[in-house]
Amino acid sequence: MRSVDYSIYLVTGRDLLPPGKDFLTSLEESIQGGVTLVQLREKELDTQTFIDLAIRSKAICDKYNVPFLINDRIDVALIAKTDGVHIGQTDMSVEQARSLLPAGSIIGLSCTSVEHIREAVRLNVDYVGIGPVWGTQTKKLSNPIIGVRGVGAMLAELDGTNIKAVAISGIKSTNLLRTLHGSMSQTNHALDGIAVVSEIVASADPRSAAQKLKSIFSEFKRAYTPHPLGFPQALTGTDTNGPGKSIAPSADSIMDGVVCLMNEIRKANPLVHQITNAVVTTQSANVTLAIGASPIMATEPQEMEDLARISGALLINIGSMRAETVDGIGLAGTFANSFRKPVVFDPVGVGASTFRKSSVRTLLDTFQSSVIKGNAGELAALAGTTEVESKGVDSVGPGFKDPANFVRNLAKRERCIVVLSGPVDYVSDGVSVVALANGHELLGHITGSGCILGSCIASYCATASQVAQADPNIENGGIFRGDMFTAAIAGVLVLTVAAELAVKSGDVKGLIDALWSLSPEQVREMSRLTVSKAIHQQELRVYCGAE
């Protein structure tokens, strides 16, 4: 059987054609633009008309050597001599279809749950269609939307198999990169393709629409080639020289990066867009200014694209989130991703209510975070574990038994940097873990101390991003640019060391002054930083010239 390219999988929908656009013309133009597989889906046509349309459509696909499938109707597939069929969960069984179709026919199966995937593996289908990932205008959804991160658990079930996977439902050029990237949560198994309907069929220029999707998909595959560490190397500002040739980051190399970022931030003076807790807006702005960045505190949805264009980073803190602000926050994160600006996400009090939990799930499906920061209770709720409970915005109890492995696993699952704040702060990129023992217990009694930590981290992420863009020797791949790992560590260290100095001076209220006067040499001298042994050996590139 010939090799099949599932990357841009067109599912037809003639009712979506623009006025005056002929279906067969649209089909040919879409293939010319990069469609690699076609499924003819017709639920309302009478049988003979369906057969005639299938024969004519297959002739066009054959002209370009593009496989052609029929949705559900085995009889039509047999008469039109198609390359195979796509079957839904309530259609004819895979075993029945296989017994009727010629040997080597492609058989795909719609899957909406992990259980469906396991059954598909048992049946050894050629590919699965996973979804619905997003809402869609092409049909009324009978199954709940699983979101891009929900795809990850289903893809993980395909590890070690030859079964291909395409995401389905509501996929467009505007959410394609998020779909591809976010679906790799919980696994190193990337999607083999995306099934598209309206983005191509409803376009007056289907060739260009297909070309755009193909370009995004190809760029993702190029930039996110998996490496032996188990996740795409473009994600965290890390690099590898191949098996057996890489080294783990040292405390000294990390501190070199922290010092560099502290020197650079006052020169760069990055603008940091902050959607934050109303309780701490003033404190957060003042802290941002004190460490050398510039704050802009804005929540109007109509501003999000313009602010993403000019800002160095985005901080999203859900402390004061309301139902009417969720869409605006989603827009902010989406535009920040589109301009490849770092996004720091602080799920304040996420475990306190069903509203916060559901909103955070929606937001994390909508955009990719560069850094997720939270206390033990918040990150436990995000991870879905009851090991640590929360009371409002605070954690309850002694914390995680193994915090280093917890943050490592969560970072790998979410494909970003994770910061666990507490008496000892932990930062991980999914491979290495750094423990930071600086700070003072009085910091925990300052209203919004966790929120201002988010401001510090976002400020240094913005700096790292700007440094990366200014250096032509640094590859800028991925959703965001720069070394977010070192930037997150810098944000934690700067705040916690300043807190120690403020307490030592006898003026706890002078935290802003301590931040303003803090020197890189003080941070290097006072830092209590240890690097946990990485599960895999890896080189950490510090994007300030220290390697």
Minimal CA–CA distance to 368: which of 223, 168, 185, 541? 185
Minimal CA–CA distance to 466: which of 271, 312, 238, 309? 312
Please give the Cα distance from 227 to 60 (Å, whole number): 39
Q: How far is CA 361 from CA 313, 330, 355, in A?
A: 21, 11, 10
Q: Is the Cβ–Cβ distance between 405 and 380 less than 8 Å? A: no
SS3 sequence of 327-338? HHHHHHHHHHHH
β-pairing, 389-391 vs 68-71, is unpaired
Residue 416 bears catalytic tag = no
Catalytic residue among 451, 456, 461, 544: 451
Minimal CA–CA distance to 344: which of 327, 319, 365, 369? 369
Write the DSSP assignment of 513-545 as a string of letters. Answer: HHHHH--HHHHHHH--EEEEPPSS--EE--TTS
Phi, psi of 262 (to 5 degrees): -65, -35
Residue type, 454: G
In 367-519, where does DSSP find H-type helix?
376-383, 403-414, 449-470, 484-504, 511-517
β-pairing, 394-396 vs 389-391, is antiparallel
Would you name the residues annotated as active-site residues?
451
